Chains A and B, each alone.
Chain A
Amino acid sequence: MTKLQNFSKGIIKENPVLVLVLGTCPTLATSTSVESALGMGIAATVVLLCSNIVISLLRKIIPDKVRIPCYIVLIAGFVTMVQMLVKAFAPALDQSLGIYLPLIVVNCIILGRAEMFANKNGVFDSALDALGMGAGFTLTLCLMGTLREVFGSGTFLGMPIPVLSDNKISILTMAPGGFFIFGLLIAAVNKFGKHKPKKSDFGCEGCPSAEICGKAECGKEGA
């Protein structure tokens, strides 16, 4: 796989949200407006980039048996740094992201990329992978944020849009609208996506806890 593919696969072919279906919680929760979607995307990308680089550097030092706890500690450390930076320089963003900022720790995308890519590949490739996945995550969040903000509140980045601001569908900015738009987007990807994802790349099996979860149910579904 070339360097360029390492970067670009995260944006469309292996889009973490729409194709791998990871990190659904922050996607649904922070896509109520473009601004918070963008903020969440960038914060998660920074954490993903740092964690992928460090985990890739340490991949020969961390013993295999305790790798997951090690990754979690590293990721939590980076999340704390990002949290402090956002609090200091973008307090408004901190307000709008609220609880979801510390919850980047348990975002499956980050642990998933550490487990699936960074612990097997070199530093440069891992950084490219992180940037690509982060870009895919951010773009998807922004797409959902745009749809929900334009049709739900009739604004774009806070600026009112002439006709739509008088005919807004407020339910789209609330919880049911989030599920609905996300469902429609995935259906659209299923319909128009040229690259059919391999089964092993899909859903549960891409998740870092798939092994344990498989015992429960996902494995049986094969989804």
Chain B
Amino acid sequence: MTKLIIILLSAVFINNYVLSRFLGICPFLGVSKKLDSATGMSIAVIFVMLMSTAVTYPIQMYVLNPNGLGYLQTIVFILVIAALVQLVEIVLKRYIPSLHKSLGVYLPLITTNCAVLGVTILNIDEGYTFLEAMVNSLGSGLGFFLAMVMFSGVRSKLEGADIPKSFKGLPITLIAASITSLSFMGFGGVIENMFA
């Protein structure tokens, strides 16, 4: 149990996908301008991360590994994720239209999001059990959510700021991301020592 909590907390704070592993930078910079779209995107990411881990982990363990096909990991995972996202979108559209309305636009975008492919591959590389892999996916998704929400707050403050001309737009956003990421570095070492 302690191990699960450590995995969860370190995925959220220490190995934060966006701010320390640099995965999923495109949506982090692109969709973080408004709080509601940042929230919608993050919820969709958490959902897809959990779903794709639940599907890719058994595929790797029970189909690819016993048959010596481990090298097909990349190609199989990306296809599974792409198919899964399409499937989720169709199911949501048919049965839960209200949820589809709020998450639908973000779902196709997630197919080519490196955070989702990253989490599924990392779960295998780290040698997690199925439960640990699911907890890690949840933590990674929550970490993404936290970073997006925090950063959309930072960006709304930037709107009114007087910025040098060449720094307008992307450069100042990146500098702000740098400072946000600096604040997350403060968590380093905290989680390990909490349970020691």
Contacts and interface: CB of A to CB of B under 8 A. Distances in A.
A, B co-complexed: yes
Interface of A: 21, 24-26, 28-29, 69, 72-73, 76-77, 79-80, 83-84, 98-99, 102-103, 105-108, 111, 171, 174-180, 182-184, 186-188, 190-191, 203-204, 207-209, 212-213, 215-218, 221, 223
Q: What are the nearest 8 A-B pairs in CB distance?
A: A183-B174, A179-B178, A187-B171, A191-B166, A29-B22, A76-B75, A180-B178, A176-B182
Contacts of B23: 25, 29, 103
Interface stretch (B51-59, B91-99, B109-117, B132-140): B109-117
B78 A106 contact: yes
Nearest to A185: B171
Contacts of B78: 72, 76, 105-106
B26 interface: yes
Contacts of B49: none
B89 to A, nearest CB: 11
Contact of B25 (A25, A184, A191, A223): A25
Given A103-B118, A106-B114, A187-B166, A177 B75 contact: no
Given A183-B178, A213-B30, A218-B30, A105 B125 contact: no
B73 A102 contact: yes
Given A176-B178, A177-B178, A25 B108 contact: no
Interface residues of B, number: 55
B79 A73 contact: yes
Contact of B185 (A175, A190, A204): A175
A102 B74 contact: yes
Given A72-B79, A217-B31, A183 B74 contact: no
Nearest to A177: B178
